Structure 1
Amino acid sequence: MLEPSHHADVIIVGAGVAGLSAALQLTGAGVSTLVVEAAPDVGGRMATEQIDGFRLDRIGQLLSTSYPELRRTPGLDTLELRPFSPGVLVHNEGRLQRSWEPRSSLRLGPRTGRSARGALTAARALASAPRVRSRRSCPPLGGALDQARLGAAFARLAATPLDRLLARPEQASLDALLSRGLPSRTVETFLRPLLSALLCDPSLTTSSRCADLALRGYARGRLSVPAGGAQTLPRLLASALPPGTIRTGVKAVDISTTSVRTAGHGELTCRGVVLATGARQAAELLPGLRMPDFHPLTVLHHTAPHSPLAEPALILDADGSGPIAHTAVLSEVDPSRAPAGRPLITSVVLGPPPPESEVRAQLARLYGTSTASWDLLAVHHDPEAVPTMPAPHDVRRPVRLLAGLYVCGDHRDTSTVQGALFSGRRAAHAVLHDFGLAPVAAEEATPVAA
């Protein structure tokens, strides 16, 4: 298949999770593939910085154990997901309250073992283990009737087939929530802060279909983070590729259907090119490609003399008492992210970096303790962290631009890790179709980008 003058059958520009997912599909089908990445390491925005024994993620996007691509993508069978406690803690009216907990989360369980059998064993162990309680008693959020209504709504959503969900009328997610008969207090004190965390969209202008996908994933799984930091996931993908497939430090400056011209490394020739960069870089290499707007994120990492919450819980701020949207003692969720005896508190702001005094004051309210002795480890800000998904939003934007030229990334599906992985799979399948080859596994008929 590979002609002598070609460097590879397919060149993939970008070694984020979308590009790596595409590369795994192509190499699995016997197509020689070269991945070029301008940065010195793989992963793109899923980067983890190491400081003083701490592992600090640069963006604070949450994963769900219900993401199908985490189970379907080659190389991720050994991925360990560290789940948060079922449900979330909501800071409402000046106190922490425990939200409704997905009943299906223990049944589905996270994939934490080295095989499907290991994952099932881990899920059973999690289901039978006693729940870790926080140091303070957290009353339930809302009354019994509110809890019952919310549980019924989530149960219906979890059982709704994807094709039916995606056929619903589309509008802004906040408008959709308010039109479905749920009490406004449930929307404002739970669903709005939850979706703000899942979609990184505090105004909830995101398409209601994308919001339904996010809530469906929440109802069917557990919020989680990769063990060892976000970069663990792309590094697992990279390690599953044949040696020599990835070349870092190679910046593409021009692409066509048969070549990639680089800065300082000459021209690389091929039979097809997959553009798997971020949305802005993709638009720069392909003028005319639509570039979305973005949700900015700021991630702040602190450490303290003692853990302010002895529970692996995600805390949402429904009071809007400060710039932080959600926070967690991440070392309680994943102990490998911090040295022994030094807790890691990670907080996410859906916007630019705020004054440290405002952050400390809000964290003191959320955790109910003084933050005067806390140390700030790092502040990571990304003005283009998450592509927006306003209505109308196509969760299956075309990945084949023309024969020999393809594009993938979270800006082509949903703005999640699931969406990025799935778009890489779709792009690879389009390449294989044009090459007259069959993919290793048939592509599903309906989008699974939750």
Structure 2
Amino acid sequence: MHILVIGGGVAGLVCARTLHRAGYQVTLIEASDGLGGRVRSDRVDGFVLDRGFQVLFTAYPAAQRQLNMAALDLRAFDPGAIVAWRGRREVLTDPLRDRDPASLIGAALTGIASPADKLRTLQLAIRMRQQTIDDILAGPDRTTLAELKALGFSDQMINRFFRPFFGGIFLNRSLQTSAKCFRFNFKMMSDGQTVAPNCGMGAIAEQLSAELVAAGKVRLNTRATALISSDGKVRGVQLADGSELFADAVVLATPAPETARLSGLPVPEGSLGSSCVWLAVRHPLYRGKKLLLNADENAFVNTLAPMSAVAPGYAPAGWHLYAAAILGVPDLDDSTIVARTMVDLHRIFVNETAATTALANARILRVDRIPFAQFPQPPGLHPNLPDNRTGRPGLYLAGELTEASSINAAMLSGERCAEAIRADLPR
């Protein structure tokens, strides 16, 4: 049995590797010059730059099944976050996981969250740890904002912490994303660590693809332009160079817009984009390995991530690398995006001479734009997502669009697609 997988992102790699290990003949084609989709890293002047700011949750069940975590040399962010708001920076953290006395003291004294909000956060973390994933995904759905209000969190806590923190995960501060997504992500952070491989997120794709590449199963710079069907069955694809590839089954492991273009099937509508300014400085902007959240109402930069403090492999000696994550893709040129980023960062560190001096001499390494980073996930969406089986003989789907928008969901979809093919087309 020959299976053709279109798309070399995480879902396509997991699906193709699973089938290859099961003894199927597999060909994976990828339109770009590298594998991993959005989970890629580049070396620029000795720095490691991911394709936009990304992290991995070690508690992801699919990641635990698919990845050799030890081989990735994972480095962890510190629990909690630093919240920047109106010229102040204050710490919020998880006392169940944070072992830094200064963070615990700072979190105890912060005015960002009231004592009642801190207690509610602790109670929520304990409850998420005690419940299974099936438990937290069961029952009716609602928005994350409605969930937080029902849990009793104050408007201050919602606006100063949850909007920037989960806005960075959902790529939108409105908190209109499904509460089930909120619970799942909160549980993942409570159960494990937030990490990045020391040599970049692309190490994940490299590990997933290594067997396929070694076996000669991958073709890069190979774009599918149309499906080929006959007698009611999908038989293969036509390529941009005019050639054709045929197989016993075709897997579309492409982003939702490309899947819709090739198949004509209904897929999740809409898109959420993200942008990232990568900057390097000679002096650290702040100490520690926590994410910094910009809670100001008119924030341009949502999150500042100290990548080289967390994973030293991201920067050469003597440099400190930061990812300034921006929600959406502003209709601005690079120089304007950089200028607005620097305005926000100078505002955050306004009273610190060393940091502002470092910013004044910062190296801007790259501006990333990811127009389609996620699809919107409003309440009630997930039960209506497409299945791995399309109903069209010979055609299967693998990708976030069958599960949810996350690395875990992409891996899970790849697994389930491979399972469906093995059931339908036994060797």
Both structures adopt the same fold (TM-score exceeding 0.5): yes
- C-alpha displacement at 1:420, in angstroms? 0.7
- C-alpha displacement at 1:284, in angstroms? 0.9
1:89 maps to: 82
Residues 232, 133 of structure 1: alpha-carbon distance in 2 compared, 3 angstrom cutoff: farther
- C-alpha displacement at 1:322, in angstroms? 2.3
Q: Equivalences for 1:9-408 in 2 at 5 Å?
A: 9-73=2-66, 78-101=71-94, 103=96, 131=100, 139-140=109-110, 141-241=112-212, 242-255=214-227, 256=229, 257-264=234-241, 266-353=243-330, 355=336, 356-367=338-349, 368=352, 369-370=355-356, 371-394=359-382, 397-402=386-391, 403-408=393-398
Larger CA deviation: 329-338 vs 138-147: 138-147
Number of positions where the alignment pairs a residue of Structure 1 with one of Structure 2: 405
CA–CA separation in structure 1 for the residues paired with 2:258 and 2:59: 30
Give 3-state SS (helix, strand or coil) of 2:48's partner. Answer: strand
TM-score by length of 1: 0.84
- C-alpha displacement at 1:176, in angstroms? 2.0
CA–CA separation in structure 1 for the residues paired with 2:185 and 2:386: 18
CA–CA separation in structure 1 for the residues paired with 2:157 and 2:24: 51
2:171–2:328 contact (8 Å) kept in structure 1: no
Kindly provide the CA deviation profile for residues 403-430 of structure 1, in whole angstroms up to 9, marking residues without a partner as x: 4211111122111111111111111111
Give 3-state SS (helix, strand or coil) of 2:173's partner. Answer: coil
- Specify the code of the residue in structure 2 equivalent to 1:243: A
CA–CA separation in structure 2 for the residues paired with 1:239 and 1:288: 31
Kindly provide the CA deviation profile for residues 301-345 of structure 1, in whole angstroms up to 9, marking residues without a partner as x: 111121112211101112235201110221101111111101111
- C-alpha displacement at 1:143, in angstroms? 4.0
1:39–1:248 contact (8 Å) kept in structure 2: yes
- C-alpha displacement at 1:386, in angstroms? 1.6
CA–CA separation in structure 2 for the residues paired with 1:339 and 1:181: 46
Kindly provide the CA deviation profile for residues 164-193 of structure 1, in whole angstroms up to 9, marking residues without a partner as x: 322232122212211222223222222222
Give 3-state SS (helix, strand or coil) of 1:60's partner. Answer: coil
Where structure 2 has 5 or more consecutive residues not aligned to the other structure, the ranges are none
- Specify the code of the residue in structure 2 equivalent to 1:300: V
1:227–1:334 contact (8 Å) kept in structure 2: yes
1:410 maps to: 400
- C-alpha displacement at 1:133, in angstroms? 6.3
CA–CA separation in structure 2 for the residues paired with 1:142 and 1:385: 31
- C-alpha displacement at 1:240, in angstroms? 2.8
Where structure 1 has 5 or more consecutive residues not aligned to the other structure, the ranges are 3-8, 107-129, 438-450
1:132–1:311 contact (8 Å) kept in structure 2: no
Residues 33, 74 of structure 1: alpha-carbon distance in 2 compared, 3 angstrom cutoff: farther
- Specify the code of the residue in structure 2 equivalent to 1:360: M
Residues 263, 349 of structure 1: alpha-carbon distance in 2 compared, 3 angstrom cutoff: same
1:61–1:198 contact (8 Å) kept in structure 2: no
1:338–1:344 contact (8 Å) kept in structure 2: yes
CA–CA separation in structure 2 for the residues paired with 1:349 and 1:317: 10
CA–CA separation in structure 1 for the residues paired with 2:117 and 2:72: 36
CA–CA separation in structure 1 for the residues paired with 2:120 and 2:34: 47
Larger CA deviation: 180-189 vs 29-38: 180-189
TM-score by length of 2: 0.88
Q: Does residue 436 of structure 1 match 2:407?
A: no
- C-alpha displacement at 1:251, in angstroms? 1.0
1:322–1:358 contact (8 Å) kept in structure 2: no
Identity level (%): 28
CA–CA separation in structure 2 for the residues paired with 1:102 and 1:162: 22
- Specify the code of the residue in structure 1 equivalent to 2:9: G
Structure with the larger helix share: 2
- Specify the code of the residue in structure 2 equivalent to 1:89: I
Out of 391, 413, 425, the residue aligned to residue 423 of structure 1 is 413
- Specify the code of the residue in structure 1 equivalent to 2:39: M
- C-alpha displacement at 1:373, in angstroms? 1.8
- Specify the code of the residue in structure 1 equivalent to 2:304: T
Kindly provide the CA deviation profile for residues 233-257 of structure 1, in whole angstroms up to 9, marking residues without a partner as x: 1111110335111111111112242
Give 3-state SS (helix, strand or coil) of 2:302's partner. Answer: strand
- C-alpha displacement at 1:15, in angstroms? 0.6
Residues 151, 161 of structure 1: alpha-carbon distance in 2 compared, 3 angstrom cutoff: same
Larger CA deviation: 147-156 vs 394-403: 394-403
